[in-house]
């Protein structure tokens, strides 16, 4: 579980609830006006309908998995990735037979594949091209998820405005009837609540989720770029000290781990 995401959402919802509570208490009004199933249906249903038009169905059906990826935590440190590569470089200098025995000990599947290519006799160019192609198309797939959330964040306020217009039309249609003036306040409140829902969906959930996925893409790409270089250095049978210094170039100095 990504604690930062959970804290952000809880803090955001708590701030909204606290603000509503204080404002309602000061005005001696009810908080029930902020609960509107019809407004929720217009905003959320319309938003899902829009992304269904904008994206292939298979991407829309993976929305739940994309949300799960946002909340998925990670404890991987770049310094540990460097250490794993250095350990593998130590083994590689003993020969291909020893390296083959150590392939399964590689913790990262991407790195494991790279080392296996070294064992299988792939050329340096072939190894590099295959691994960099995997990085490129993984980024494309994951950026589709980020684009999905960004579109939902853009469309949610728009559907909030549509719900507001619907509420205003209904309110004005009944304004000329009996008791129309008394219905102005509640009617306007019901019309505006959809805009409120749209803004909350966009700014607390979907736009931040899109940014979270983009940051994860960058982090994963950094790790995999390190592992491509690790595989290349192992292929070239570079000394572990050279491997360490080269890979440390990818990460902040505070995460460097020196040789024991």
Report pLDDT digits (tens) over 163-184: 888 888 877 776 665 555 555 6
pLDDT, residue 38, reads 86
| Whether 148 contacts 63, CB under 8 Å | yes
Q: Residue 44 and residue 59: Cα distance in Å, rounded? A: 17
pLDDT, residue 168, reads 83
pLDDT, residue 150, reads 93
The model's confidence at residue 200, banded by pLDDT at 50, 70 and 90, is very high
pLDDT, residue 181, reads 56
pLDDT digits 0-9 by tens, 107-165: 899 999 999 999 999 999 999 999 999 999 999 988 988 999 999 999 999 999 998 88
Tell whether the model's pLDDT for residue 206 goes beyond 70: yes
Q: Residue 31 and residue 202: Cα distance in Å, rounded? A: 22
Q: Residue 170 and residue 188: Cα distance in Å, rounded? A: 10
The model's confidence at residue 254, banded by pLDDT at 50, 70 and 90, is confident
Q: Residue 218 and residue 200: Cα distance in Å, rounded? A: 27
The model's confidence at residue 187, banded by pLDDT at 50, 70 and 90, is low
Instruction: Give Cβ neighbours of residue 150 (< 8 Å, ≥ 6 apart).
Output: 206, 207, 210
Closest CA to 167 of 54, 36, 259: 36
Q: Answer with the residue of higher pLDDT: 76 or 82.
A: 82
pLDDT, residue 120, reads 93
> Across the chain, what does the average pLDDT equal?
87
């Amino acid at each position: 579980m990504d604690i930062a995401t959970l804290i952000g959402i809880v803090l955001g919802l708590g701030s909204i609830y606290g603000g509503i509570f204080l404002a309602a208490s000061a005005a001696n009004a009810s908080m029930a006006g902020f609960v509107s199933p019809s407004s929720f249906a217009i905003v959320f249903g319309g938003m899902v309908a829009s992304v269904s038009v904008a994206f292939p169905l298979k991407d829309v059906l993976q929305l739940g998995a994309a949300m799960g990826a946002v909340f998925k935590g990670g404890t991987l440190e770049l310094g540990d990735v460097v250490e794993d590569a250095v350990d593998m470089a130590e083994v590689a200098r003993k020969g291909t037979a020893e390296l083959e025995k150590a392939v399964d000990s590689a913790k990262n599947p991407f790195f494991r594949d790279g080392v296996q290519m070294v064992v299988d006799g792939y050329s340096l160019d072939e190894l590099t091209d295959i691994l960099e192609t995997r990085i490129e198309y993984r980024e494309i797939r994951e950026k589709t998820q980020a684009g999905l959330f960004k579109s939902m964040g853009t469309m949610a306020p728009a559907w909030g405005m549509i719900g507001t217009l619907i509420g205003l039309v209904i309110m004005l249609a009944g304004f000329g009837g009996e008791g129309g003036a008394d219905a102005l306040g509640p009617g306007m409140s019901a019309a505006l609540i959809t805009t409120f829902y749209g803004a909350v969906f966009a700014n607390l959930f979907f736009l931040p989720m899109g940014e979270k996925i983009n940051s994860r893409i960058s982090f994963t790409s950094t790790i995999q770029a390190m592992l491509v270089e690790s595989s290349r250095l192992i292929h070239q049978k570079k000394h572990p000290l050279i491997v360490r210094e080269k890979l440390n170039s990818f990460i902040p100095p505070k995460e460097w781990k020196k040789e024991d």
